């Protein structure tokens, strides 16, 4: 198992960071909140989980070991693969997920793209004794992934700037997708940052 990768960030896309390790570019699938804390050319250390399939080897990256552990525990529930587990961590921090499961917060889980009411109810039952109790956020904890708990606007802007867009361009793209985010929030859910990032990038591509 590859427990972590460490090195300069060689490239960033909306879903992947390429980290140079010993002269080799390691492509790591990351959630927007994790990517938002990375900058091309700067050193990064990502906890990783290698998912092996018959036709692929995919490396998933996380802000810290706790995120990776929760990512792997989520997949012990039936119907939860790596993509859905990553989507859950893109929407909620590890502690927020622990709290949701511990309190039976169905609404928090349905805020994740791909999880409906019945799916949330099933996950609450299956994960109840697996994620453990919320551990709290240590005072002063910073670094990659801290944006998970910030507002959708902050997450989205940081992710766009991390991808190389100017602050002005990022601001305009955030404004363009704001109605989509507000509609999701008005419906009782949370702003779906991964989908908003894709929409923002489409807006920027059309403008160029």
Tokens of 46: 């990502």
Domain boundaries along the sequence of the chain? 4-62, 66-127, 150-207
pTM score, whole prediction: 0.68
Tokens of 73: 């525990």
Across 129-154, average pLDDT = 58
Domain 4-62: give its CATH superfamily.
Nucleic acid-binding proteins (2.40.50.140)
Tokens of 30: 């990351």
Instruction: Give the fold, CATH level 3, of 150-207.
Output: Helicase, Ruva Protein; domain 3 (1.10.8)
DSSP class per residue in 79-146 = T--HHHHHHHHHHS-HHHHHHHHHHT-HHHHHTSTT--HHHHHHHHHHHTTTS-S---PPTT--STTG
Written out in words, the top-level CATH class of the domain with range 66-127 is mainly alpha
Nearest to 81, CA basis, from 24, 29, 144: 29
Note the pLDDT tens digit of each residue in 79-101.
Answer: 999 999 998 988 888 888 999 99
Across 166-179, average pLDDT = 87
What's the chain's length in residues?
208
Across 39-52, average pLDDT = 93
């Amino acid at each position: 198992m590859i427990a972590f990768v460490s090195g300069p960030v060689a490239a960033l896309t909306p879903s992947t960071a390429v980290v140079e390790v010993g002269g080799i570019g390691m492509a790591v699938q990351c959630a927007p909140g994790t990517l938002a804390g990375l900058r091309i050319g700067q050193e990064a250390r990502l906890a990783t989980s290698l998912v092996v399939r018959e036709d692929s080897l995919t490396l998933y990256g996380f802000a810290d070991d706790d995120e990776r552990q929760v990512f792997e525990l989520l997949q012990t529930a039936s119907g939860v693969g790596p993509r859905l587990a990553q989507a859950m961590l893109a929407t909620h921090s590890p502690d927020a997920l622990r709290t949701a499961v511990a309190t039976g917060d169905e609404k928090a889980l349905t805020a994740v793209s791909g999880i409906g009411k019945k799916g949330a109810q099933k996950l609450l039952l299956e994960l109840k004794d697996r994620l453990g109790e919320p551990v709290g956020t240590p005072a002063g904890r910073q670094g990659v992934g801290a944006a998970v708990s910030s507002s959708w606007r902050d997450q989205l802007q940081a992710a766009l700037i991390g991808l190389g867009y100017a602050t002005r361009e990022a601001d305009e793209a955030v404004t363009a997708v704001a109605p989509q985010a507000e509609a999701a929030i008005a419906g009782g859910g949370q702003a779906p940052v991964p989908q908003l990032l894709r929409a923002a990038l489409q807006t920027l591509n059309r403008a160029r």
